Structure 1
Amino acid sequence: MRINLLVFTAIAASSTLLSNPLLAKAAPARQEIAQAPTPQPTPPPATPTPSTPPTNTPTQPAQPATPPQPPQPTTPTFTLPSNTPAPAPAAEVQVLVGEVAIKTPEGQPPLPPELQQRVYDAIATKPGRTVTKTQLQSDINAIFATGFFSNVQAEPEDTDIGVRVTFFVLPNPVLKSVNTEGTKVLEAGVIDRIFGSQIGKVTNLKDIQTGVKELEKYYQDKGYVLAQIVDIKATPEGNINLVVSEGVIEGIKVAFINEDGKTVDKDGKPVSGNTRDFIITRELTIKEGEIFNKNTVQGDLQKVFALGLFEDLNIGLAPGTDPRKVIVTVNVKERNTGSIAAGAGLSSSTGLFGTVSFQQQNLGGNNQKLGLDIQVGERELLFDLNFTDPWLAGDPYRTSFTANLFNRRLFSYVFDSPVGIGADNDTPRINRLGTGFSFSRPLSSNTTASLGLRYERVSITDSNNAIATVDSLGNPLTSSGTGQDDLLLLQFAYASDQRDNPIKPSSGSVFRIATEQSIPIGLGSIFLNRVRASYSYFIPVNFLNFSEGTQALAFNLQAGTVIGTLPPYEAFQLGGSNSVRGWDEGKIGSGRSFGIFSAEYRFPVFNIVGGVLFFDYGTDLGSASSVPGNPAGARNKPGSGAGYGIGVRVQSPLGAIRVDYGLSSNGGTQFSFGLGEKF
């Protein structure tokens, strides 16, 4: 990164030195050496290229008997000269030095002793040694290189004992202040911390340059990788102003990448994409007019990638119309977001059936999800039509909307064997036909809330899809007693996620609570309120060393209850892969209330494979008998139980694939499979 800085020529331009050249009184026979340092090459600036002041070319060595001309009041660049002597011409004349003197120009105060010593230490010209014109020029460069002086000239003069060499030096002014311009993200106190020790001392350009590098490192460490000091302005009074280009974002664009990895086609036209630009840009934290920050951009790219619409993406930078600004381009390569599948099968419960599935993850390029699953059988028609807009257009609060229409049929683990329905003791099915919608909104960076409404017509049926009203013991299956109920539920949920990592947490906590309030309508006139809460806590540990990775103790406590009318099929079920492992689904019991405690030790094994040791305990809190018909008691379920075991986690693009083997407190065993952690 190039730093173009201003020297203190402005100081020299207003001094007596420039209005009265040092060698104006010199005799024509005297030898004179130019007062400017040898210019050094400067590397080119980094992109984006800031505008730079014109470079002041140092004055060339003056010819003998001609006084050197003062520098013109142009804006030079701050480049300290090298103190490496240039190679001397083979035929250069050498003269014997009899005396070396250090002076300030006429009308200037004497040079402080410490600065005189700096000059003596820097020069190679010494009494009793020979010197050449090239050597004197190298000494001038060396004096400049100390950083303390704004003008240096050397005047040789013949004497009886040899040549007297007088170095006329003009020191920089005492540094009074260092200020900045063009800064928006520079924290207060940084300039004082870097340059404070130099205030009140003779300005040293080397120290200023070191401070400039430290200031740029500060920006780099904070993620402002485009920030650079583009200019240093100095006044004769000793005030320095740092002109900073922090990397302002002039504009944000979106470009699409084709299969060849290019953003333009063979005709040179931009590659077109399906996704609308605002779907991408609204995920970005960076905005026009703000300062480009690498860390922020990396987080933004992760959010864009999490949309699931792209298989690759990166950031491109280009200079803006103002060279000190930057245009940010988000380059994305879209993936196929639509799918359709069909199949057929034969089942003892449904007979011959066929299935069709359609999924579109980027409907209309708006990141909207549309899905349809249909199963047509000899005795049933099941379907699930769902639509999700993860961010309603124009909503500043990032509200999402979900709606669905469904007809689902599942086995009941409340009404399971050995008590069934009908003469054949058939296992009852729970058929739910309904629709619903919900809105969800983040309340902060780690909390969300949702509100929704759902209607269901719940029917209890046998394998022939015939409605059943009671089980084989005569216990009611629905609240209405007709085998069918109407449920209209107003739903609310809240979640606070304080984990350090949502995928593989090692510390922090998660709290979730949800409630459903029914509105009594139709069959059953059900009036209930259901509350369910869950709290998880994670502690980092280091017990085993199979592989590098996250190790943690994870604890989870769940509880819930139902107040009011409780249809038996809505009772809480205990046992199974998402409840108490080691037990089959629903085999511990079903109750009006419940409590579950789980503890896990999670550890890495190798690469993408991890291990888990777990313990679960669940109880219906003695509430089984308060469920109409006491379905758990009728099936002799214990009401409480524990399970423990070991599991394997395999990381995949879909999340962690979970395989657990559990042993139950009643002596049974169970293999369970799932996607994602239990909690």
Structure 2
Amino acid sequence: MRSIKKLLLIYTVLGILFIQQPSYAAFNFKFPKFFKFKKEKKIQENQQEQKEDIENFEEEITPQDENINNANDTHDMSENSGETDAVYISQVEIFGNNIIETSFIKDQLSAKEGYLYDRKTISADLNKIYKTGYFTQNIRAVPLRAEGGGIRLRIIVEENPPIKGFTVEGNNVVATKDIMNILSQYEGQPQNILNINSAIEQIQEMYSIKGYILARVTSVQDDPDGIVNITVDEGVINDVIVEGNYKTRDFIVKRNILLEPGTVYNENIMRDDILRLMGTQAFKDVKRDIEMDPNTGKYNITVSLDEQRTGKISLGVGVDSTSGFFGSVGFSENNFRGLGQKLSINFMAGTGILMNDSSIIDRPNLQAELGFLEPHFKSENQTLGFRAFIRNFGSYQVPLAIEKRYGADITFTRRFKAFKNLSGSISFGGESVDLDEGDEWKARQVFASRGIDFSERAKQLDGGVYAKISPALTYDTRDTIVNTRQGVLARICLEESIGFGADSFGKLYGVLKKFIPVGKKSTFVVAARGGGKLHGDMPEFAAFALGGPYSIRGFNISEVGTGNGFMMGTAEFRTPIPFMDRLTTNTFLNNVRLAAFVDAGTIFGDSLTNKLYDRPGYAITAGVGLRVFIPGLGPINLDYAIPFTNTGGKDRSNGFFTFGMGEMY
């Protein structure tokens, strides 16, 4: 009898101890079947409730429950009756969470109130809770008998220690506050490896977007006080190695490479460096390799070059409204002396103005030009160019005159670092312009037909020697020069001509073009040009002119008029030949563009030539054309346009063809 009383006392004490801390007790305890509590036993009310919990306490479930044999097993709550009826969950309780919302934990559960009680499902639910990352492995599910039948499922969790703050080390090119903007959302939450990994990915993605593709989070450590310490390796360059340059000198290559040892590697800068190297036209290909130096933990950047022949002799033929059918011969060296300098000599001979015009004397167009360019003058953002030229042709500014020009200029250009698309230039040069009578008899006839004294002819033939100063600003965001699809080109130039034995004058002019992509391959171009005289008596050879392939198409050169100022606009739609890319992969054919356009413009300040040839001074035209890109020459433009306005002394009502090379303006 005494032994039974002792056993009763031991079980009662153990039961009280276990029930007082249900969140952390772990046992597989059941009363012997022969033992029964006496309901008439007088104990305190709270002790009675604890004993009832002990009666109802079933074997707890863990995330890795080894007692699960069948996914469809249900739990029999009857110990002696042998009942096998299914049991349902009547209530779900969450214990142990302080920060994470109970609703969040319940959302992870498949075993919900009213669902069939299934040990394997509950074990899987505990795994899902654990995989949220907020909790330790001490997760349990304790099934208890519920009043009125069913199971009262008690889920017991233990949160990870909360994060009280972050520190960041190793970052230089990205501000700490930018990194903290990613991390701060996790402060106050339990430590969660999933959230930390997500933050690491966001930090590395932020670096990558900025071009720092080597940046990595290399260490994440938590202190006992809840501070998480993050270390970043941004990817510092150990050395830049150049190989494959046999003719080009090392310092020429390296001055085109802005990345330097000791700086953080940036793929965007490297891409620009490669484009600069390719732009020298000294190389067929440029590649870069990245390798970590095991001794320093930094990176070696190897730039591999494939040099090409840079000295070329060119022969060409073409057609242009101003030069007629022409042939050209030239020599160019794009890596002069291995210093990346450019040297060119070109000669061109043409038949003269195309589409015979009674106002332009029929004679050959002869030109020669020598050019030199230092692409890195004192700095990678500065260039220095020199040009000398001779030209002899039938003037298309001054009717029936032979125009001879020779001169030279030096141009200094600087790209602004603060505004990468903006550059400024200034040219200093000298030019001699001679205008000789080409057909005096015909000129006298024209003057007589208009009742103008022939003594005015001398003013038309004014030339002289001039010193020139021309500052300019250019803004260029075009994606490419050939077949541009999007971007803006804007340029404004002041030209001051100081005469020696001739009148001095100055003028200002500018252009604005916008390229708008349409669909996948087409482009809509809108452009505006304008200019005017600032001071002095501007001679006719220097007057602004409209008409021809580079201004208002549908007219010959200068046929709309010449004057002291002008304004014009253009709208043009360009598209590839339909289905050409499906028919062939030939680059030449796929670069051909069809065009439809409208031109409009007006001249300000009437000139003597306008009166002699009854030029309208304004025009609106519309037409169609072809843009054909010829390697080595650039785009050739063939256009046909019809005027919608008065054509003056020339009957262009049936339209007119023009031929040009290069962009319209």
**Which category describes the TM-score, using the shorter chain as reference length?**
0.5 to 0.7
Give the aligned partner of residue 342 of structure 2: 369
1:177-232 per-position Cα deviation (integer Å, ceiling 9, x unaligned): 22221112334445444443432343233433343334333333443221212222
| 1:631 partner amino acid | T
Q: Is the partner of 2:264 in helix, strand or coil? A: coil
Q: 1:597 to 1:209 in 2, by over 3 A?
A: closer
| 1:447 partner amino acid | L
| 1:182 partner amino acid | G
Give the aligned partner of residue 506 of structure 2: 530
Give the aligned partner of residue 237 of structure 1: 225
Q: 1:85 to 1:453 in 2, by over 3 A?
A: farther
Q: 1:207 to 1:355 in 2, by over 3 A?
A: closer
2:395 matches 1:407: no
Give the aligned partner of residue 468 of structure 2: 489
Alignment of 1:63-74 (within 5 A): none
Give the aligned partner of residue 386 of structure 1: 371
Give the aligned partner of residue 424 of structure 2: 449
Q: 1:332 to 1:658 in 2, by over 3 A?
A: farther
1:315-338 per-position Cα deviation (integer Å, ceiling 9, x unaligned): 211213655321222222222211
Give the aligned partner of residue 644 of structure 1: 622
Residues of 2 paired with 1:401 and 1:191: CA distance? 44
Name which of 470, 492, 499 aligns with 1:513. Answer: 492
Q: Is the partner of 1:566 in helix, strand or coil? A: coil
> Is contact 1:460-1:477 (8 Å) kept?
no
Higher helix share: 2
Aligned residues: 498
> Is contact 1:374-1:382 (8 Å) kept?
yes
Name which of 179, 182, 185 aligns with 2:173. Answer: 185
| 2:389 partner amino acid | F
1:116-164 per-position Cα deviation (integer Å, ceiling 9, x unaligned): 999xx99xxxxxx9xxxxxxxxxxx999978668899xxxxxxxxxxxx
Q: 1:149 to 1:323 in 2, by over 3 A?
A: farther
Q: 1:670 to 1:115 in 2, by over 3 A?
A: closer
1:35-68 per-position Cα deviation (integer Å, ceiling 9, x unaligned): xxxxxxxxxxxxxxxxxxxxxxxxxxxxxxxxxx
2:298 matches 1:325: yes
Q: Is the partner of 1:620 in helix, strand or coil? A: strand
Give the aligned partner of residue 293 of structure 1: 266
Question: How far does residue 458 in structure 1 lie from its aligned partner after superposition?
Answer: 2.0
Give the aligned partner of residue 435 of structure 1: 408
> Is contact 1:477-1:568 (8 Å) kept?
no
Q: Is the partner of 1:584 in helix, strand or coil? A: coil
Residues of 2 paired with 1:318 and 1:212: CA distance? 23
> Is contact 2:489-2:514 (8 Å) kept?
no
Alignment of 1:20-99 (within 5 A): none
Name which of 300, 303, 308 aligns with 1:335. Answer: 308
2:570 matches 1:592: no
> Is contact 1:460-1:469 (8 Å) kept?
no
Q: 1:337 to 1:468 in 2, by over 3 A?
A: farther
| 2:333 partner amino acid | Q
2:660 matches 1:674: yes
Residues of 2 paired with 1:312 and 1:557: CA distance? 38
Question: How far does residue 577 in structure 1 lie from its aligned partner after superposition?
Answer: 0.1
TM-score normalised according to structure 2 size: 0.63
Residues of 1 paired with 2:393 and 2:216: CA distance? 64
* Bigger Cα displacement from structure 2, 277-286 vs 224-233: 277-286
Name which of 217, 220, 232 aligns with 2:208. Answer: 220
Residues of 1 paired with 2:472 and 2:577: CA distance? 36
Residues of 1 paired with 2:99 and 2:496: CA distance? 85
Name which of 175, 184, 206 aligns with 1:196. Answer: 184
Residues of 1 paired with 2:520 and 2:502: CA distance? 54
Residues of 2 paired with 1:534 and 1:212: CA distance? 50
Question: How far does residue 339 in structure 1 lie from its aligned partner after superposition?
Answer: 1.7
Q: Is the partner of 1:519 in helix, strand or coil? A: strand
Question: How far does residue 293 in structure 1 lie from its aligned partner after superposition?
Answer: 2.7
Question: How far does residue 660 in structure 1 lie from its aligned partner after superposition?
Answer: 1.8
Name which of 379, 397, 401 aligns with 1:395. Answer: 379
> Is contact 1:479-1:566 (8 Å) kept?
no
Residues of 2 paired with 1:356 and 1:230: CA distance? 60
Q: 1:452 to 1:84 in 2, by over 3 A?
A: farther
Greater RCO, CA 8 A, separation 6+: 1
> Is contact 2:366-2:392 (8 Å) kept?
no
1:249-284 per-position Cα deviation (integer Å, ceiling 9, x unaligned): 22223222xxxxxxxxxxxxxxx4222333333334
1:502-525 per-position Cα deviation (integer Å, ceiling 9, x unaligned): 65666664432222222232xxx2
Question: How far does residue 553 in structure 1 lie from its aligned partner after superposition?
Answer: 4.6
Q: 1:325 to 1:561 in 2, by over 3 A?
A: same
Q: 1:278 to 1:183 in 2, by over 3 A?
A: same
Residues of 1 paired with 2:199 and 2:328: CA distance? 70
Q: 1:171 to 1:669 in 2, by over 3 A?
A: closer
> Is contact 2:523-2:573 (8 Å) kept?
yes
> Is contact 2:168-2:176 (8 Å) kept?
no
Q: 1:304 to 1:671 in 2, by over 3 A?
A: farther
Residues of 1 paired with 2:128 and 2:619: CA distance? 86
Question: How far does residue 541 in structure 1 lie from its aligned partner after superposition?
Answer: 7.2
> Is contact 1:526-1:565 (8 Å) kept?
no
Name which of 544, 548, 559 aligns with 2:520. Answer: 548
> Is contact 2:371-2:387 (8 Å) kept?
yes
Q: 1:578 to 1:192 in 2, by over 3 A?
A: same
Question: How far does residue 571 in structure 1 lie from its aligned partner after superposition?
Answer: 2.4
Q: 1:281 to 1:229 in 2, by over 3 A?
A: same
Residues of 1 paired with 2:553 and 2:460: CA distance? 34
Q: Is the partner of 2:499 in helix, strand or coil? A: coil
Q: Is the partner of 1:415 in helix, strand or coil? A: coil
Residues of 1 paired with 2:64 and 2:335: CA distance? 65
